[in-house]
Amino acid sequence: MRALADVSFDLVAGELIAIVGPNGAGKSTLLLALLGLLPSSGTFDVAGDLAFVPQHGPADADFPVTALDVVLQGAAPPRPFRRIDATARSAARSALSEVGLADSGDRPYGSLSGGQRQRVLLARALAQRAPILLLDEPLSAVDAPSEQAIMAAIAAEQARGVGVLLATHDLALARSRADRVLLLAGHVHAFGPPGEALGVEQLRSAYGGRMLVLDDQGLAVADDHCHDHDHGHGA
């Protein structure tokens, strides 16, 4: 059975596309297919590698690894006979400071808070210096300072010309930060600027009966596992 069908979109350098949709819409599936980790048919053209930030990081808090070690996985991916050089260390430290954790490099990864771990995983992806950054729900279960640091780092990457694909259930985030929105629910229900793609009809089509129109300016989406309250403009 297909989890996702007939998806077609383009990503411009420096652009942020938010992938939104209800649970089971295929947001994560799309990212994993782009990464080549799920069987898929179709074509995908990109100049360079993809950097990925998973929704759930490593669960083993006891693993003997520091924050800097984790970022080095991105700065100097393990390859036979390749050692970690000074350039890689410098790139890793720079990526850590981009997410506001410049002083935490020597701390054990397992001792960091959930938000800090998510920032370390983002720094690992930044250190790959890939032209496209894929993020799967990067703000789920992170505290406010981490949320700010993550969004600031993403904006800095965009300014550098990195294209960003961000899967999220947060419609307010998509509306305020995305250049374009890909509204998914098994297939593409809308693709375009937030004002168009997140219109009432498009959302009703994607979310079905699980959406409640509050007024002309706001929406509430009742999903299976989460509740989004979006009071943005242009609904």
Partner 1 sequence: MSWLLDPLQYGFMQRALLEVVLIAVACGPVGALLSLRRLAYAGDSLSHALVPGAAVFISFGLSGEWGAVLGALLAAVVTAFLLRRDDVREDVVVALVFSVALAVGVALLSLTVPAQRSLAVLFGDILAVDRGDLIGGAIAMAIVSGVVLVGSRAIALTSFDRGWARTIGIRVGLIDAALLLATALALGVALRGLGGLLALAMLIGPAAIARPWVRRVGPLLLLTIPLGLLAGCLGLLVSFHFGWAAGPAIATIIAALFLASRGVALVVDLRSRSASAARHA
Q: Give the footprint of partner 1 on this chain (CB under 8 A).
A: 35, 37, 49-50, 52, 54, 57-58, 60, 63-66, 69-70, 73-74, 77-81, 108, 121, 124, 128
For the bound state, the minimum distance from the C-beta of residue 184 to partner 1, rounded and expressed in Å, comes to 21
For the bound state, the minimum distance from the C-beta of residue 127 to partner 1, rounded and expressed in Å, comes to 11
Nearer to partner 1, 113 or 148 (CB): 113
Q: Give the number of C-alpha atoms closer than 13 A to the C-alpha of residue 52, restricted to the C-beta side.
A: 16
Nearer to partner 1, 33 or 183 (CB): 33
For the bound state, the minimum distance from the C-beta of residue 23 to partner 1, rounded and expressed in Å, comes to 20
Is 118 in contact with 142 (CB distance < 8 Å)? Answer: yes
Nearer to partner 1, 6 or 81 (CB): 81
Is 125 in contact with 31 (CB distance < 8 Å)? Answer: no
For the bound state, the minimum distance from the C-beta of residue 32 to partner 1, rounded and expressed in Å, comes to 9
Contact residues for 173 (Cβ-Cβ < 8 A; gap 6+): 18, 139
Nearer to partner 1, 74 or 186 (CB): 74
Count Cβ neighbours within 10 Å for each residue of 31-66 and write b for 16 or more, e otherwise. Answer: bbbbeeeeebeeeeeeeeebbbbbbebeeeeeeebb
